[in-house]
Amino acid sequence: MSTQSRTTELSTSALLAEWRRLTHAGNDARQAQCVVHAFSWHEQALRVAHRLLFKHTDSIDVPDDDRLAAFVVAHLNLAECLETLDQPSSAAECLQCAHNRLKSIMENEDESQSMRIAACHHIRYTWAALNEHETRRSGTPNTVDALLPTGLHWSTAQSTSLH
């Protein structure tokens, strides 16, 4: 049975537990230098994180901060695998997608206050990862972007993959 079909009926707390299991498996594979396997586990974890974040129901039993953390960590892990697999453009797209989603949540007045606060908390991680990625690619930190308010320097282009 695929992860997607197993998570169809799960509560948000069960989804979070499934995300943790998949993430641990991905991290274990990464430590064992099995990057392709790690990528597969982290890709599955990202799918679960999407369901966790975008599950619209009255029975959400996981704090917004935890839901967003899963979303961000899944993107960071996947981007790290993509970078290791020599796919820097895909890694940047993955990081940018997470960053743009957080920016969108922060700016959306229809989002709950707790979700907006959680996005403010987690956006520093995506910004740091994007800046680190740019530094690795160009050899210099993106100091101009560091002076701009969060989000003004990244494209709002939509991803065509899982992001």
Structural domains in the chain, sorted by start: 3-147 (1.25.40)
> Residues 74, 126: contact at Cβ < 8 Å?
no
Mean pLDDT of the 104-132 span: 92
Report the percent of the chain where pLDDT is more than 90: 62
> Residues 83, 134: contact at Cβ < 8 Å?
no
Tokens, residue 82:
């993509």
- What local confidence, expressed as pLDDT, does residue 61 receive? 84
Query: Phi-psi category of 139—alpha, beta or left, where left has phi over 0 and alpha has psi -120 to 50?
Result: left
List pLDDT tens digits, range 5-59: 444 467 888 999 999 999 999 999 999 999 999 999 999 999 999 999 887 655 6
Lowest-pLDDT choice from 79-93, 95-109, 140-154? 140-154
10 Å Cβ neighbour count for 116? 18
10 Å Cβ neighbour count for 67? 22
Q: CA-to-CA distance for 19 and 75, rounded, in angstroms?
A: 12
Q: How far apart are the first and last CA of the chain?
A: 23
Lowest-pLDDT choice from 4-13, 72-81, 96-105, 120-129? 4-13
What is the rounded average pLDDT for all residues in the chain? Answer: 82
- What local confidence, expressed as pLDDT, does residue 158 receive? 36
Q: CA-to-CA distance for 141 and 134, rounded, in angstroms?
A: 7
